[in-house]
Every structure is written in C-alpha cells, then in structure tokens.
Amino acid sequence: MAIASSDAKVFVLSLRNLTGEEMAEIFVQAIERMEKFAQSNQSPFIAKI
C-alpha cells in the first residue's frame, strides 16, 4: 500500500545469500535496463532484478 500511495518505482534483488560486492555487481550490470524500464513504465511498480 505504501508503494502505491507514494507513486514509487521500486527494484528488488530476488537472489539470496549474496555478498554486498555481488549485489553491487548485479546492480551495475542492470542499471541501463532499470533506467529504460523506469522511463517506459508508469509508477508505482515493483520490478525484480
């Protein structure tokens, strides 16, 4: 409910048991696709990485 009412664009990492370094690398590799998705989809949304 909070995401919908705040009009947020949320990306979540769906993998478990990763180090901070591994998580950072996944986000670095995904950033361009995340930006394109965010620009072409209305908020609110929750997207899985």
Looking at the domain assignment, is residue 34 inside a domain? yes
Structure confidence by residue, pLDDT tens digits, 1-49: 788 889 999 999 998 999 999 999 999 999 999 999 999 999 999 999 9
**pLDDT, position 46:** 95
With beta carbons less than 8 A apart as the criterion, state whether 28 and 5 touch: no
**pLDDT, position 47:** 96
* Whole-structure pTM value: 0.82
Q: Closest Cα to residue 9, out of 33, 39, 44, 48?
A: 44
Give how many domains the chain has, as a whole number.
Answer: 1
Looking at the domain assignment, is residue 32 inside a domain? yes
Looking at the domain assignment, is residue 49 inside a domain? no
Q: By three-state DSSP, how is residue 43 classified?
A: coil
Give the C-alpha separation, 24 to 12, whole Å: 12
Range of the domain at 20: 2-44
HSE-CB of 9 using CA atoms within 13 angstroms: 10
Q: What angle do CA 12, 15, 18 make, to 5 degrees?
A: 110
